[in-house]
Amino acid sequence: MKEFTAVILAAGEGVRMKSNIPKVMHKVCGKPMLTHVINAAKGAGANKVIIVVGKDADKIKEAYINEDVEFVIQEKQMGTGHALMQAENAVKNSSHIVVLCGDMPLVTAESIKGMVDFHEKEMADATVMTAKVSDPTGYGRIIREGKKVLDIREHKDATPEELKINEVNAAFYCFNTVDIFASLAKIQNDNSQKEYYLTDAIKILNQEDKKVVAFELSDPEELNGINDRKQLAKVQSIMQKRIIDKLMEDGVTFINPDTCMVDCDVKIGKDTTIYPGAMLEGSTTIGENCSIIGPCRIIDTTIGNDCEIVMTQINKCVIEDGVKIGPYTNLRPDCRLSQKVKVGDFVELKNAKVGEGTKIPHLSYVGDAVLGKHINIGCGTVFVNYDGYKKHQTVVEDNVFIGCNSNLIAPVTLKAGSFIAAGSTITDDVPENALGIARARQVNKTGWVIKRKQKFEGGISGNGNQA
Is 422 annotated as ligand-binding? yes
Is 196 annotated as ligand-binding? no
Is 441 annotated as ligand-binding? no
Is 79 annotated as ligand-binding? yes
Is 124 annotated as ligand-binding? no
CA atoms within 13 A on the CB side of 13: 8
In DSSP terms, which residues pair with 179 in a beta bridge? Answer: none
Is 153 annotated as ligand-binding? no
Is 64 annotated as ligand-binding? no
Is 269 annotated as ligand-binding? no
Count how many residues are written for the chain. 467
Is 11 annotated as ligand-binding? yes
Is 154 annotated as ligand-binding? yes
Is 10 annotated as ligand-binding? yes
Distances (CA, A) of 283 to 65, 123, 191, 355: 20, 41, 47, 24
Is 439 annotated as ligand-binding? yes
Is 332 annotated as ligand-binding? yes
In DSSP terms, which residues pair with 286 in a beta bridge? Answer: 268, 303
Among residues 377, 294, 285, 300, the alpha carbon closest in space to that of 331 is found at 300
Rounded Cα distance, 20 and 40, in Å: 26
Rounded Cα distance, 393 and 125, in Å: 67
Is 9 annotated as ligand-binding? yes
Cα dihedral sign, 27-30-32-35: negative
Is 80 annotated as ligand-binding? yes
Query: Among residues 26, 119, 362, 374, which one is catalytic?
Result: 362
Is 385 annotated as ligand-binding? yes
- Whether 52 contacts 44, CB under 8 Å: no
Is 415 annotated as ligand-binding? no
Distances (CA, A) of 462 to 446, 449, 465, 467: 21, 17, 8, 10
- Whether 130 contacts 170, CB under 8 Å: yes
26 is annotated as an active-site residue: no
Which residues are annotated as catalytic? 362
Which residues are annotated binding-site positions for UDP-N-acetyl-alpha-D-glucosamine?
9-12, 23, 74, 79-80, 140, 154, 169, 227, 332, 350, 365, 376
Which residues are annotated binding-site positions?
9-12, 23, 74, 79-80, 103, 140, 154, 169, 227, 332, 350, 365, 376, 385-386, 422, 439
Which residues are annotated binding-site positions for acetyl-CoA?
385-386, 422, 439
Which residues are annotated binding-site positions for Mg(2+)?
103, 227
